[in-house]
Structure 1
Amino acid sequence: MRFLLLISFILIFGFCSCRRDVPQAENSAVQIPVPDHFPPLVYTFERNPPTTFGVELGRKLFFDPFLSRDGLVSCSTCHQRGVGFADPRGQALSEGVFGRVGNRNTPALANLIWYPHFNWDGGINHIEIQPVAPITDSAEMDMDFRELLDKLQKHPEYPDLFQKAFGSDSIYSQVFLFALTQFMSTLVSHNAPIDDYYRGQSSLTTEALAGKQIFDSKCATCHSGALQTDFSFRVNGLTAFNLADRGRAEITNDDKHIGAFRVPSLRNVEVTGPYLHDGSLSTLREVIEAYSSGILNHPNLDSALPVGGFNFSDLEKRQLRFFLYQLTDFSFINPN
Structure 2
Amino acid sequence: MLRKPIVYAMLFLSIALMYACSKNEDDIKPEEKKISFSVPSNFPAPAYNFENNKLTNAGFTLGKKLFYDTRLSADKSVSCGSCHQQFAAFANLDHKVSHGVNNCQGKRNAPPLFNLAWQKAFFWDGGVKNVETSPLNAITDACEMGTNIETIIAFLKSTAPYPDLFKQAFGSTEINSQLFLKSMTQFTAVLVSGNSKYDKVIRKESGATFSTTELAGYNLFKEKCSSCHAEPFFTDFSYRSNGLDLVSADEGRSHITGTNTDFGTFRVPTLRNIEYTAPYMHDGRFYSLDEVLEHYNSGVKASANLDTRLKNGIPLNASEKEQIKAFLKTLTDNEFIKNTLYSES
Same-fold status (TM-score > 0.5): yes
Q: Distance in 2 between matches of 1:127 and 1:217?
A: 32
Which of 233, 249, 258 is residue 253 of structure 1 equivalent to?
A: 258
- Structure (1 or 2) with the larger CA radius of gyration: 2
Amino acid paired to 1:208: E
Secondary structure of the structure 2 residue equivalent to 1:125: coil
CA drift of 1:335 comes to 2.5
TM, length-normalised to structure 2: 0.87
Aligned residue number for residue 8 of structure 1: none
Q: CA deviation at 1:51?
A: 0.2
Alignment of 1:83 onto 2:84: no
Counterparts of residues 260-279 of structure 1 (less than 5 Å):
260-279=265-284
In 2, the alpha carbon distance for the partners of 1:239 and 1:133 equals 27
| Aligned equivalent of 2:136 | 132
List alignment gaps of at least 5 residues for structure 1. 1-25
- Taking the aligned partners of 2:326 and 2:73, their CA distance within structure 1 comes to 40
Does residue 54 (structure 1) correspond to residue 59 (structure 2)? The answer is yes
Contact kept, 8 Å, 2:246 with 2:304, in 1: the verdict is no
* Distance of 1:313 and 1:60 partners within structure 2: 47
Secondary structure of the 2:107 match is coil
- The structure that is helix-richer by fraction is 2
Q: In 2, Cα distance between the equivalents of 1:138 and 1:247?
A: 19
Question: In structure 1, what is the equivalent of residue 170 of structure 2?
Answer: 166
CA distance in 2, matches of 1:114, 1:310: 28
Q: 1:110 aligns with which of 111, 114, 117?
A: 114
Q: Distance in 2 between matches of 1:112 and 1:240?
A: 32
**TM-score in terms of structure 1 length:** 0.89
What's the C-alpha RMSD, in Å, of the aligned pairs? 1.5
Which residue of the other structure, out of 186, 192, 216, is the alignment partner of 2:190? Answer: 186
CA contact (8 A) 1:84 1:110 kept: yes
Question: 2:223 maps to which residue?
Answer: 217
Question: What is the CA-CA distance between 1:198 and the residue it aligns to?
Answer: 1.0
- SS of residue matched to 1:118: coil
Does structure 2 retain, via aligned residues, the 8 Å contact 1:110–1:267?
Answer: no
1:316-335 equivalences under 5 Å are 316-335=320-339
Pairing 1:133-152 to 2, within 5 Å after superposition: 133-152=137-156
The answer to whether the 8 Å contact 1:214/1:320 transfers is: yes
Structure 2 segments unaligned to the other structure (5+ residues): 1-30, 341-345
Look up the equivalent residue of 1:226 and give its one-letter code.
Answer: P
Contact 1:94–1:104 at 8 Å: present in 2 too? yes
* Identical-pair percentage: 44
Partner residue, 2:24: none
C-alpha distance in 1, partners of 2:39/2:54?
A: 14
Aligned partner of 2:26 in structure 1 is none
Q: Does the CA contact (< 8 Å) of 1:238 and 1:291 recur in 2?
A: no
Kindly indicate whether the alpha-carbon contact (under 8 Å) linking 1:269 and 1:324 is maintained by their aligned counterparts in 2: yes
| SS of equivalent to 1:159 | helix
**Distance in 1 between the 2:266 and 2:71 partners?**
31
Aligned to 2:35: 30
Alignment counterpart, residue 306 of structure 1, candidates 311, 333, 342? 311
Q: Return the match for 2:104 from 100, 103, 106.
A: 100
Deviations 1:20-57 (A, max 9, x none): xxxxxx99963211012112200011100210000000
- AA partner of residue 91 (structure 2): A
Q: Tell me the CA shift for residue 306 of structure 1.
A: 2.5
Aligned length: 308
Flag the 1:57–1:153 CA change in 2: closer, same or farther, 3 A: same
Residues in 1 aligned to 2:202 and 2:149: alpha-carbon distance in whole angstroms: 43
Residue type at the aligned position of 1:252: T
Q: Distance in 1 between matches of 2:327 and 2:160?
A: 49
